[in-house]
Amino acid sequence: MGRGSSPAPQVIQAPSSDKETEFTKVPDQSLDTQTALDEAAAKQARLNMELGAELDRTNAEFFTGQDLRKIRGTGAENRLSTITAGEQTRKTIRTQGQENRAQTAETGLQYRKGLETAGAQDRALTRVTGQETRATRGEEGRQTRATQAQLLRGQERQIGQRGMQERAAIRTSGQETRDIRRTEGAEERLSEQRRGLEQRAGIRETGLQQRAGTRETGRQQRALTRVTGQEDRAGTRVRGQEERAGIRTTGTEQRALRRTSGEETRATTRVTGQEQRAGIRTTGQEERAGIRTTGQEQRDTISRQAQELRATDLQREMFRRYKENRDFEQARGSYRV
């Protein structure tokens, strides 16, 4: 600002000429070369894109095939696991039924043996009681009551001991049955938990692969989308087939399990009924034998009492006749005197 303004520039005009400017054309190959290079680059780019799209389709088909094989393998393993679990469950139920029937048969046998032993002991006791009653008929008072009281106490102890043993056997059987049911439930829950983990892992892996396939899209999106749709439909079809096959196998195994369980239950009920009927039959036989022995002993006792009574009456009659004869002789002797 403190300085003075700069002088205006001078414009020098070119000298005018009436002659036109002439351009000289010089031949040059750079344009043709550049055009050829652009065409080659475009062709190479198209080839690269086609090759990339082909590789994308090949990769998509390969990974989809891998998914299908994985799904088929998973379905086959699930069916095999279901079949194996069904077989093991049926074997367990069959073995349990056999053990229950064997236990019921053994219980019935031991119960019948106990009844036989009790019947024999009761008959022997009744026989000894009859003998002692006949031998000690004159001591019917205090000795008879003491003997009956001791007999009743022995029978009560025997019946109480038998009841304790039966209750202990029933308690042990119930405990074992509950333990078996508890173990079966725990194993089934673990199997279901493991199956759920495997299924979720398979679904998670399938999702990862699908998202990876989606990220591999590019310029050939339409072709890749078409291939992906076809493969997805194929995968869905195969997955549905595998799921239906799994459901079909599970239903078959469940029906077989219900059938086996019903057969074992009916067999156990049949054996239990047979053992109960045999026990009732043995009880009736033992009771009839006891009643028969008691009646025989009572008849023997009555016969013995009748014999003793007749002997007493005979002795009394003989004494009466002796006394009459003595009185008669004394009276006749007195008359003679």
Residue 213 CB burial class (10 angstroms; 0-12, 13-18, ≥19):
buried
pLDDT above 60: residue 16: no
Question: For position 228, what pLDDT does the model report?
Answer: 79
Stretch (H or E) spanning 245:
helix 221-336
The C-alpha atoms of residue 34 and residue 61 are separated, in whole angstroms, by 40
Q: Per-residue pLDDT for 322 more than 50?
A: yes
pLDDT for position 2:
46
Predicted confidence at residue 334, as pLDDT, reads 74
Q: Does 144 have pLDDT greater than 50?
A: yes
SS3 312: helix
Residue 47: pLDDT band (50, 70, 90) is confident
Q: Is it the case that residue 14 has pLDDT exceeding 70?
A: no
In this prediction, what percent of the chain has a pLDDT beyond 70?
A: 82
Residue 7 scores a pLDDT above 80: no
Tell me the mean pLDDT in the region 191-201. 81
pLDDT of 245 above 50: yes
- Answer yes or no: is pLDDT of 140 > 70: no
- What confidence tier does 179 reach under pLDDT thresholds 50, 70, 90? confident
Structure tokens, 107: 């219980």
Arithmetic mean of pLDDT, 204-233: 73
pLDDT at residue number 17: 52
Report the Cα 90 to chain-centroid distance in Å.
9
Structure tokens at 131: 């003998």
Instruction: Kindly indicate the confidence band of residue 217, based on its pLDDT and cuts at 50, 70 and 90.
Output: low
Going by C-beta distance under 8 Å and a sequence separation of 6 or more, which residues neighbour residue 214?
228
What number is the average pLDDT over the span 300-318?
87
Which of 298 and 151 is assigned the larger pLDDT? 298
What pTM did the predictor assign?
0.39
For residue 220, pLDDT over 70 is answered with yes
Q: What is the pLDDT of residues 98-129, one digit of tens each?
A: 888 888 888 888 888 888 888 888 888 888 87
- Return the pLDDT at 9: 52
Backbone angles phi, psi at 141, to 5 degrees: -70, -105
Confidence check: pLDDT of 197 > 80: yes
pLDDT at residue number 75: 81
Is the model's pLDDT at 12 over the cut of 70? no
pLDDT of 26:
52
Q: For the chain, give the mean pLDDT.
A: 79
**In this predicted structure, which of 12-16, 29-33, 64-68, 304-308 has the lowest mean pLDDT?**
12-16
Instruction: Give per-residue burial for 102-125: e unless 16+ CB within 10 Å, then b.
Output: ebbeebbeebbebbeebbeebbeb
